[in-house]
A and B are shown apart, each in its own frame.
Chain A
Amino acid sequence: MSVREDLGNRMPGGDAGLIVAVLVVLYVAYVLAGVGLGYSLRGQLNTVAVLTFYIGAFAMLALALNLHWGYTGLFNIGIVGFMAIGIYVMALVSKPLYQSGGAAQVGGLGLPIVVGIVAGMVAAALLGLVVALPALRLRADYLAIVTIAMSEIVRFSFLSGEFQRFTLFGRRVGFGGGSGLILDFTDPLQAFFETFGLWNAYLGFVDAFGAIVPTNPKPVVDGLVYGLVLLLFVAAYYWLLKRTGESPFGRVLKAIREDEDVANSLGKDTNQFKIKSFMLGCALMGLAGILWFMTQGAVTPNTFRPRITFFVWIALIIGGAGSNTGSVLGGAVFAAVLYQGPRYFKNLVDAALPSFNAPSSFGPAVAPLLSNLNPAPLFYYTVDSIRQLQLVLMGLVLIWLMHNRPEGMLGHRKETAAGIPLTSPRTRTAATDGSTGGDEGGRPTDAEGGEGGERDE
């Protein structure tokens, strides 16, 4: 009956300890590589900031997807569509009002960033509802088809001229079409600190940081702090989804994933549960899209291609669907190793061998290997094409995982779907008959329960 012996239990600090340990390993690897190649402190800090950013983004997305797939068995392959809706609606609401002569072709409603974030999440949830209503009643694979189609429809809608510019509440707003949308609202970090009246304190901190990075420390600090903010959001997602999973609500979700008919015939309105789970996950994906893109200065629809959806799936599969801890780990490992890893590796090679000239195509790259066993051109060629090879690498990792670790890094790992630890409520031995359990009055015929004690052998 030792079903829950796993890494998390052997780590000091349990799951949190495990997550921290993995993060430390990843950061140390990055920093050591940087040190070995003589990166400046500024470069190191920027590397750490970028790494943290993507760890945060993918951990959030994997957690949200875990709610859909790991808990409820909903096959959502339109994640990027919900992210796009999130950031675009947020921009629509929070961009300043249109002013002729400004850099931006269109304006927004000029509302505070927080309002925009909430609106973006609500829009993503509502889009989820629209997608889910027809699809959830059909077989599971229909949801897959509908979600991926939806994500492409969303992208094409933002690309189209129709929505490039329109009028809403008498304001000139729009999504900018194919040329993109300038996100000219207040710097989100500034808005964040101003909400708590801490903006000046923050600026003071940036100045103090000048002792470490003398020239122009603000971008460095901004990057690091924004990464930290994302990690805070990861913690919030984790907290929310853990409570969601460890509850009667989560229990029904788990039952739906296992066998929806059973849950239904036990009196659970499974469509209601699926819709709620789906909408919550979509809202969280919308928020992740907002947090990912709102500091980027501008967004274009073609950023939101299905590949991002597949990245999130790989992250979840690495971590193991069904586990929130696994989702965070999967997001972190994916971001550090598969997403940022190859790019960082290329930078390392560029720095180590600054003078190399990569062949421009495959032919010249292999020819030296064949003619005089010189592998260098092929190596350079490979490194140079690392962005394309990244996808191949992900595919290989996926295949390896499917064969060797189909249940993810943590192995078979299912978090208990209950608000309390499910152990025997009997504090004393129930050996004496007659007094089994209920000590409350009103059950005088308890002795009949003694039947449970008899055994036909």
Chain B
Amino acid sequence: MSKTGNDADATETDPNAAENPADAPILGGGGPTVTAERPLEVEGLRKSFGGITAVDGASFHVEGGTLTGLIGPNGAGKSTTFNLITGMLSPDEGTVAFNDEDITGMEPHAIANKGLVRTFQIARELEDMTVLENMMLAPKGQRGEKLWRSVTPGVRDDVIAQEEELLERVWDVLEFFDIDHIADEYAGNLSGGQRKLLEMARALLTDPDMLLLDEPFAGVNPSLEKRLLKHIHGLKEQGYTFLLVEHDMDLIMENCEHVIVLHQGRILTEGTPADIKSNEEVIEAYLGGNV
């Protein structure tokens, strides 16, 4: 009922995504159908900044429909890994594959349009835009993103009609995240926690298959953290895949089925939370590093 298995060769603007926004998998629907068993495969990723090697030959993969944790002390290279995966940085060496397609070195927007969407460690809201404007930005395949459609009399009616549909859908998501009461607020006026919610909600509106969340709980109060986690679990049930960066060990251990440990740009180990907990190297890395 939702997506068919052609995500891998989806074009940049996926008209279906916008044609039937009501079919969006966010609330209720069946969620994304991930074609690949391992939607994300990272192979030998390396990146240096001058003398610092931030990521040093990291290889790992993420299983479809899971919540996978990526942990490591500060400076381990987690954010850099995200930047390499999502095209914000290009790797010195190594490859990234998403849904069995090599996406190494692609532009961030191309990668996002394939269904791999990230959030930022420091929430990056579009501050002078309202919450609703932030949200309306995200959906793919908006006809009015073509300038001529937006200005040509007559043709613009189509754009307006789609805006109405989008607003409905956006409102659903706002309600789902319980931030509909701040819909008209400028994003710059939100609290840290509200920004995190907005950022995740916005990312979801792009119809991703997989979300990369960079420390979504940093600066979020415990009750909001619980709520966010519940949303994440709910979305996972719908078929979304998550890769979650977090340096709170306990949180990762309680919520992820698979954990990857990064240390000084390399994969130290990976496994189930139980495996990781009992791994002495991990304990050492954490105690030796800067937790």
Contact = CB atoms under 8 A, between A and B. Distances in A.
B180 A424 contact: yes
Interface stretch (B58-66, B168-176, B252-260): B168-176
Contact of B86 (A240, A259, A265, A268): A265
B287 interface: no
A265 B22 contact: no
Contact of B145 (A1, A243, A252, A262): A252
B108 A264 contact: yes
B128 interface: yes
Given A244-B150, A248-B145, A417-B133, A264 B206 contact: no
Contacts of A437: 27, 168, 171-172, 175
Most central of B23, B128, B150, B206 by chain A CB within 10 Å: B150
Nearest to B180: A424
A249 B163 contact: no
Interface stretch (B46-54, B96-104, B112-120, B270-278): B112-120
Contacts of B182: 1
Contact of A263 (B137, B151, B172, B185): B137
B156 interface: yes
Interface string B159-173: 110011001100110
Interface stretch (A101-109, A116-124, A444-452): A444-452
Interface band, chain B: 35 or more
A261 B136 contact: no
A201 B268 CA distance: 86
Contact of B160 (A240, A419, A448, A457): A419
A267 B138 CA distance: 8
B178 A267 contact: no
A5 interface: no
Interface in B173-199: 175-178, 180, 182-186
A346 B130 CA distance: 47
Interface residues of A, number: 59
Contact of B112 (A266, A276, A444, A455): A266
B129 interface: yes
Interface in A433-455: 436-438, 440, 442-449, 451-452, 455
A452 B177 contact: yes
Interface stretch (B37-45, B73-81, B222-230, B239-247): B222-230
A386 interface: no
B20 to A, nearest CB: 9
A262 B124 contact: yes
B128 A267 contact: no
A426 B170 CA distance: 12
B202 interface: yes
A254 B145 CA distance: 12
Nearest to A269: B109
A404 B159 CA distance: 40
B151 A243 contact: yes
Given A249-B145, A252-B145, A456 B136 contact: no
A373 interface: no
Interface string A161-190: 000000000000000000000000000000
B22 to A, nearest CB: 5
Contact of A265 (B109, B128, B136, B144): B109
Contact of B22 (A268, A418, A443, A447): A443
A3 interface: yes
**Which residue, of B1, B28, B175, B176, has the highest number of chain A Cβ atoms within 10 A?**
B28
Nearest to A247: B150
Nearest to B29: A443
Given A265-B108, A265-B117, 19 more contacts: A248-B159, A248-B163, A249-B145, A251-B133, A254-B128, A264-B112, A265-B86, A267-B138, A269-B109, A416-B133, A417-B129, A418-B132, A419-B159, A420-B160, A420-B164, A425-B167, A437-B168, A449-B27, A455-B227
Interface of B: 1, 12, 22-23, 27-29, 86, 88, 107-110, 112-113, 117-118, 120, 124, 126-130, 132-133, 136-138, 140, 142-147, 150-151, 156, 159-160, 163-164, 167-168, 171-172, 175-178, 180, 182-186, 202-203, 206, 223, 226-227, 230-231, 234
Interface of A: 1, 3, 240, 243-244, 247-252, 254-255, 257-259, 261-270, 273, 276, 280, 322, 414, 416-420, 422-426, 430, 436-438, 440, 442-449, 451-452, 455-457
Shortest beta-carbon contacts, A-B, top 3? A247-B150, A248-B144, A267-B112
